[in-house]
């Protein structure tokens, strides 16, 4: 099979990952697909504990940017190993399945599909597959539209993995994050993302989320954990972080339109009123 959009690339750990030729980005750089999926996403969501204690049933996870399904498989794997007795729904969002077909075609080189081939084939054929207590569903289309679809249950966990804000700007805006925040409402939701940039963090804050520091992965010494509930964050950003915002050359927030961009000092001043920082 020839793909114009992807190639396999060997990352520093020796694992193979996909590289998008269109966006010039590697899906899981340095450490490779499964180490990143487990360390950045699965571990930080504490799925077993949170699913078991959750008032919401089923426990709903959104996988934004299904891509080559490394995150989705790591999530399924977490529910194989753990003794969760509540029903779980995993909703994977992507505008197309090209990366997944490419990855399946290269399953042997990628390695992480081993043992999952049948389930993935069923998922591709039916748009849904069942693994233990997890119902895994495909949600096709642009995430900006799908986030508004009230037929998809609101999430308690979001694994947020589009391309970078430079390549994939439409998914990293106040508008998209606000729509996601509205879907969570008064519920408790945790979101993990590889970005730790000031502009992405201010964008989440302006959209009504709380922001914390996340685990290191690959070349990134820090990532971000976002929540609708401050008490869910192990390491929330402190008020002193606003000093960094005030000095930033790119303070955000990121928006759809050409829009007014506040000065860094103004952005920091506005964020002093956010409940995370208010004294």
Q: Which residues bind ligand SAM (CB under 6 A)?
A: 27, 37, 65, 67-71, 93-96, 99, 142-144, 161-163, 168, 170-171
CB of 220 to ligand SAM, least distance (A): 14
Picking from 112, 113, 130, the residue whose alpha carbon sits closest to that of residue 122 is 130
In this structure, the chain runs to a length of 279
DSSP 154: P
Are 215 and 224 in contact by the 8 Å Cβ rule? The answer is: no
Q: Closest residue (Cβ) to ligand SAM?
A: 67
User: Which one, 129 or 171, has the nearer CB to ligand SAM?
Assistant: 171
From the CB of 103, what's the least distance to ligand SAM, in Å?
7
Outline where DSSP puts E strands in 132-230.
Answer: 134-140, 157-160, 190-193, 210-214, 223-227
Whose Cβ is closer to ligand SAM: residue 3's or residue 52's?
3
Residue number with CB closer to ligand SAM (48 or 164): 164
CB of 5 to ligand SAM, least distance (A): 9
Q: Is 175 helix (H, G, I), strand (E, B) or coil?
A: helix
Please state the closest distance from residue 216 (CB atom) to ligand SAM, in A: 18
Instruction: Give me 16's structure tokens.
Output: 């193979």
User: Can you say whether the dihedral through the CA atoms of 50, 51, 52, 54 is positive or negative?
Assistant: positive
Nearer residue to ligand SAM within complex by CB, 71 or 202: 71
Tell me the closest approach of the beta carbon of residue 15 to ligand SAM, in angstroms.
12
């Amino acid at each position: 099979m020839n793909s114009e959009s992807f190639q396999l690339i060997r990352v520093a750990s020796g694992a193979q990952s996909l590289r998008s030729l269109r966006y010039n980005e590697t899906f899981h750089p340095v450490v490779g697909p499964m180490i990143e999926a487990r360390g950045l996403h699965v571990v930080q969501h504490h799925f077993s504990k949170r699913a078991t204690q959750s008032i919401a049933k089923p426990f709903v996870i959104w996988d934004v940017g299904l891509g080559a399904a490394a995150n989705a498989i790591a999530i399924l794997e977490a529910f194989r190993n753990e003794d969760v007795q509540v029903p779980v729904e995993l909703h994977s969002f992507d505008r197309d399945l090209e990366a997944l077909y490419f990855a399946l075609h290269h399953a042997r080189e990628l390695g992480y599909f081993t043992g999952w081939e049948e389930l993935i084939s069923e998922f591709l054929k039916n748009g849904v597959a069942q693994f233990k207590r997890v119902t895994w569903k495909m949600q096709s289309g642009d995430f900006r539209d799908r986030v508004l679809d009230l037929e998809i249950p609101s999430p308690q966990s979001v694994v947020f993995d589009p391309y970078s804000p430079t390549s994939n700007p439409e998914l990293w805006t106040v508008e998209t994050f606000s729509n996601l925040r509205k879907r969570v409402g008064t519920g408790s939701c945790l979101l993990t993302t590889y970005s730790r940039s000031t502009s992405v963090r201010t964008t989440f804050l302006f959209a009504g989320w709380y922001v914390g520091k996340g685990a290191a992965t690959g070349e990134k010494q820090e990532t971000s954990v976002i929540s609708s509930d401050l008490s869910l964050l192990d390491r929330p950003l402190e008020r002193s972080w606003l000093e960094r915002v005030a000095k930033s050359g790119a303070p955000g927030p990121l928006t759809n339109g050409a829009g007014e961009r506040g000065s860094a000092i103004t952005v920091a001043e506005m964020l002093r009123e956010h409940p995370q920082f208010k004294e």
